[in-house]
Chain A
Amino acid sequence: MSEAYFRVESGALGPEENFLSLDDILMSHEKLPVHTETPIPRLGTFFLDRSGGAESDNAIPEGSKLELPLWLAKGLFDNKRRILSVELPKIYQEGWRTVFSADANVVDLHKMGPHFYGFGSQLLHFDSPENADISQSLLQTFIGRFRRIMDSSQNAYNEDTSALVARLDEMERGLFQTGQKGLNDFQGWEKGQASQITASSLVQNYKKRKFTDMED
């Protein structure tokens, strides 16, 4: 990672996403199931199989079940549920919560929507009666998995780590990477490489293009 590039970090685990965070923008693009509580005119073209047709002003009918991205669901939701009501995705419901509490380590969190923790935390905005259980589940799942992530990131030196990170969600992968960096820095220091000067990684990456420049 370029040392002088400090990207805007995700705020999804806290009360609000960070407006400028690319990670949060990607996270909030993930979809969740919703029900329309009122017809939404003139937007039927997006959901052609459900559209009411010309007589209803091309509306999305009331009571349609749709999959909308989180950002849109958040924007249209209010506590009176005038426009839509939100359903919890399966992995945050009781069934999966039981699986997580049995053994959090076996689950492939990357497949379950790669932003499991971030998305789950932002779901709490929809005032589901299950919010307390969801937050407990998120926390306990992380606690259950953390040990293994920390262990593997601190002990995999100079190897192919793809098997280790395959089933981690994005937040966990970030943690794993941080752990790896710490390990690599430490190993470098032990070998006395810390006092060696190297060209910055950024410069090395652009070196390849520089050659084509010179050939012109």
Chain B
Amino acid sequence: MFCEKAMELVRELHRAPEGQLPAFNEDGLRQVLEEMKALYEQNQSDVNEAKSGGRGDLIPTIKFRHCSLLRNRRCTVAYLYDRLLRIRALRWEYGSVLPNALRFHMSAEEMEWFNHYKKSLATYMRSLGGDEGLDITQDMKPPKSLYIEVRCLKDYGEFEVDDGTSVLLKKNSQVFLVLRYLKSCKSLA
């Protein structure tokens, strides 16, 4: 049956838990496009035969292949679109600098899309809140207090905050941080 490879792509994405981004399946995509090319060419030739050779009985066959072409298209478009949704989520949850492990999972075009998205978001955020702009990706929940108590799980060393003061993050030490600086800490995980 046709479209098996396309279904593999869809299943691969469906299996990835929690909206994670698996590696871009360049090979799989190439195979689907090859199948589509073969189907299209077979149909071209059969259409000609049906028209000039009077083989009207080929029409169900042509329809069968056409359905498979549409199905392959649907699977690849859904695959690519769902990946973009996951990549978009990365900007909001991870930040604008992605770790290398993630970048290797993206195709060049997806990286380009991510950069465009980042830029659009940044432009928009700059247009808010008067002169300074407003970073809407921070502080998604209203804070309960000005300072937050943070316990460090690992030795990190010196952490420099925006106004130049540095904080020493040693394992198991507890430190009071102003809430604003917490998000940048959070992405160090």
Q: Spell out A's residues near B (CB within 8 Å).
A: 1-8, 19-23, 25-26, 29, 38-43, 46, 69, 71-72, 75-76, 82-83, 194-195, 197, 199-207, 209-210, 212-213
Q: Which residues of B contact A69 (CB under 8 A)?
A: 1
Of all chain B residues, which has the CB nearest A41?
Answer: B61
Are A75 and B67 in contact (CB-based, < 8 A)? yes
Are A202 and B78 in contact (CB-based, < 8 A)? no
Nearest chain A CB to B10 CB, angstrom units: 5
A1 to B60, CA, bound (A): 44
Given contacts A209-B99, A213-B101, contact A197 B148 (CB under 8 A): yes
Which residues of B in the span 37-65 have a Cβ within 8 Å of any Cβ on A? 46, 57-58, 60-61, 63-64
Q: Which residues of A contact B75 (CB under 8 A)?
A: 25
Are A20 and B78 in contact (CB-based, < 8 A)? yes
Of all chain A residues, which has the CB nearest B145?
Answer: A195
In this assembly, does B70 line the interface, its C-beta being within 8 Å of a C-beta of chain A? yes
* Interface-lining segment among B106-114, B123-131, B165-173, B181-189: B181-189
Of all chain A residues, which has the CB nearest B98?
Answer: A206
Q: Which residues of B contact A3 (CB under 8 A)?
A: 89, 93
**Which residue of the partner chain, among A5, A71, A199, A207, contacts B89 with CB atoms under 8 Å?**
A5
A46 to B88, CA, bound (A): 40
Central interface residue in B60, B91, B189, by most chain A CB within 10 Å: B60
In this assembly, does B14 line the interface, its C-beta being within 8 Å of a C-beta of chain A? yes
Are B186 and A205 in contact (CB-based, < 8 A)? no
Are B19 and A213 in contact (CB-based, < 8 A)? no
Are B20 and A202 in contact (CB-based, < 8 A)? yes
Are B93 and A195 in contact (CB-based, < 8 A)? no
Are A42 and B189 in contact (CB-based, < 8 A)? no
Nearest chain B CB to A190 CB, angstrom units: 16
Given contacts A213-B99, A213-B101, contact A4 B93 (CB under 8 A): yes
A39 to B86, CA, bound (A): 45
Given contacts A76-B60, A195-B144, A210-B99, contact A26 B11 (CB under 8 A): yes
Nearest chain B CB to A36 CB, angstrom units: 8
Are B58 and A22 in contact (CB-based, < 8 A)? no
Q: Which residues of B contact A6 (CB under 8 A)?
A: 85, 89
For the complex with contacts A7-B19, A197-B148, A210-B99, 20 further pairs of A-B residues with Cβ separation under 8 Å are A1-B19, A2-B18, A2-B86, A4-B93, A5-B88, A7-B85, A8-B81, A25-B78, A38-B57, A40-B61, A42-B58, A75-B63, A75-B66, A194-B141, A197-B186, A199-B187, A203-B186, A203-B187, A204-B189, A210-B189
